[in-house]
C-alpha cells in the first residue's frame, strides 16, 4: 500500500468519523446535564431520511441540514418533557423513541427510495490544503467535517473552562447544590438535552446529504450507529476530547477492517462487519471493571508491592458517570 493511499484513507477516516463525533458529543452534553437520551439510533436514521427528503424537495442543502438539527431537537424535547416534567423513565422514553423514529423513517422515506438529491461538495481550504500531508488530512474536507473538527475543542472549552460549563456539570453531578447556588436545574436540563439532541440530529444529514448520499430504506446502513455513539460517550468518560478520540479510533478500526479484508480471507466478512460491537463490549468492560466490587477485593488481597501499580492501572482506565445521571431532580 502506497503512502498516498494511506494518506487518502486516513483523511477518509477523519471525514467518516464526523457523524459519530457530532452524535457522541451531543450525547455527552446531554448526559453531562444528567439526562440520558437513548433515542440517538432512531434519530440518526430519521434525520438522515428527513433531511434528504427536504433536500430533494427544496434542492437546498442548508434546509436539509437544518431539518436534521430540528428533528434531533424535537425528539430530545419529547425525552426532556417526559423525563423532567412528567418524571418518567429516561431509558423507556429513549428506547421507544429509538424504535419509533427508525420505523417512521422507513415509513415516510418510502417515496424517496433511490431518489437523487443534493450532495455537499468538498471545500478544500485555499493555501492550507496545499501543505503536504497535513493539508490532505485536515484541510480538504467539506464544511460539516470542518465543523466536526471545531466542535471538539469548542465543546471541551465550554464544558471545562467556562462558567456555564461549570454550571452544566454541576447540574449533572450535584443538582441540589447547583440549585442552591441559583441554577435553574430543570430549565438547564431542558436546554442541554435539546442542544445535545440537535447535534445528534446533525449526524443524519452528514450521511444522507454527504457521505452516503441518498436514502435506501432499511439497507441505508445507518441502523446501529446511534448505539455506537452512545457507547463511545461512556468510553470517552463524558469528556469531548476522549469522546472524539473514541470516535476516530472507531472510524480507524472500520477502515482497517475494509483494508485488511482481502488479507484475512479466513475471516468471513460478516464477522468483520460486526467486529465493532464485541469491541464496544470489551472497551466498556475495560473502563467499568475497575468499579466492580470483586476487583476491589482481589486488589486488596494483592501483595503490597504490586498493589499500587495494579490500582493505578485500573484507575487510569476507569470512568464514572456524572453523579446524577438518570436521576430526576425535584426541589424540596
Q: Which residues bind other proteins (CB under 8 A)?
A: 36, 38, 78, 81-82, 85-93, 95-97, 99-100, 102-104, 106-111, 217, 224, 227, 230-231, 234, 268, 270-271, 273-274, 277-278, 280-281, 284-285, 288-289, 291-292, 294, 321, 325-328, 330
Question: Least distance (Å) from other proteins to the CB of residue 39?
Answer: 10
Question: Least distance (Å) from other proteins to the CB of residue 230?
Answer: 7
Grid cell locating 114: 433511490
- Torsion region of 104: left, alpha or beta (phi above 0 gives left; psi -120 to 50 gives alpha): alpha
Question: Least distance (Å) from other proteins to the CB of residue 221?
Answer: 13
Cα dihedral sign for 234, 238, 243, 246? negative
* Between 91 and 150, CB nearer to other proteins: 91
| φ/ψ (deg, to 5) at 7 | -60, -45
DSSP character string of 262-311: GG-TTS-HHHHHHTHHHHHHHHHHHHHGGG-HHHHHHHHHS-TTTHHHHH
Distance CA 234, CA 239 (A): 9
Packing angle, helices 18-32 and 240-260, rounded to 10: 150
* Between 104 and 245, CB nearer to other proteins: 104
* Between 157 and 277, CB nearer to other proteins: 277
Question: Least distance (Å) from other proteins to the CB of residue 157?
Answer: 26
Question: Least distance (Å) from other proteins to the CB of residue 217?
Answer: 8
In contact, 192 and 33? CB cutoff 8 Å: yes
Distance CA 47, CA 73 (A): 10
* Between 7 and 319, CB nearer to other proteins: 319
* Between 84 and 140, CB nearer to other proteins: 84
* Between 67 and 210, CB nearer to other proteins: 67
Question: Least distance (Å) from other proteins to the CB of residue 201?
Answer: 18
Amino acid at each position: 500500500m502506497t503512502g498516498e493511499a494511506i494518506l487518502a484513507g486516513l483523511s477518509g477516516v477523519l471525514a467518516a468519523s464526523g457523524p459519530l463525533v457530532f452524535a457522541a458529543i451531543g450525547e455527552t452534553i446531554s448526559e453531562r446535564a444528567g439526562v440520558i437520551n437513548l433515542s440517538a439510533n432512531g434519530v440518526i436514521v430519521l434525520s438522515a431520511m428527513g433531511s434528504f427528503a427536504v433536500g430533494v424537495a427544496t434542492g437546498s442543502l442548508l434546509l436539509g441540514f437544518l431539518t436534521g438539527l430540528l428533528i434531533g431537537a424535537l425528539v430530545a424535547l419529547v425525552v426532556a418533557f417526559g423525563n423532567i416534567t412528567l418524571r418518567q423513565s429516561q431509558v423507556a422514553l429513549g428506547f421507544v423513541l429509538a424504535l419509533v423514529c427508525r420505523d417512521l423513517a422507513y415509513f415516510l422515506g418510502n417515496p424517496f427510495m433511490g431518489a437523487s438529491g443534493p450532495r455537499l461538495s468538498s471545500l478544500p481550504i485555499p493555501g492550507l490544503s496545499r501543505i503536504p500531508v497535513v493539508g490532505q488530512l485536515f484541510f480538504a474536507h467539506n464544511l460539516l467535517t470542518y465543523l466536526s473538527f471545531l466542535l471538539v475543542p469548542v465543546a471541551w472549552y465550554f464544558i471545562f473552562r467556562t462558567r456555564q460549563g461549570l454550571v452544566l456539570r454541576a447540574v449533572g453531578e450535584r443538582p441540589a447544590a447547583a440549585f442552591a447556588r441559583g441554577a435553574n436545574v430543570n430549565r438547564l436540563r431542558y436546554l442541554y438535552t435539546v442542544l445535545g439532541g440537535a447535534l445528534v440530529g446533525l449526524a443524519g444529514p452528514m450521511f444522507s446529504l454527504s457521505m452516503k448520499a441518498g436514502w435506501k430504506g432499511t439497507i441505508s446502513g445507518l441502523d446501529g450507529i446511534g448505539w455506537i455513539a452512545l457507547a463511545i460517550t461512556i468510553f470517552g468518560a463524558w469528556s469531548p476530547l476522549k469522546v472524539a478520540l473514541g470516535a476516530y479510533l472507531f472510524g480507524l478500526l472500520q477502515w482497517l477492517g475494509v483494508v485488511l479484508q482481502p488479507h484475512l480471507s479466513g475471516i468471513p466478512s460478516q464477522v468483520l462487519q460486526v467486529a465493532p460491537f464485541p469491541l464496544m463490549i470489551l472497551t466498556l468492560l475495560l473502563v467499568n471493571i475497575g468499579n466492580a466490587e470483586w476487583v476491589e477485593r482481589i486488589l486488596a488481597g494483592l501483595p503490597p508491592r504490586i498493589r499500587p501499580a495494579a490500582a493505578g492501572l485500573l484507575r487510569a482506565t476507569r470512568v464514572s458517570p456524572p453523579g446524577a445521571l438518570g436521576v430526576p431532580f425535584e426541589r424540596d
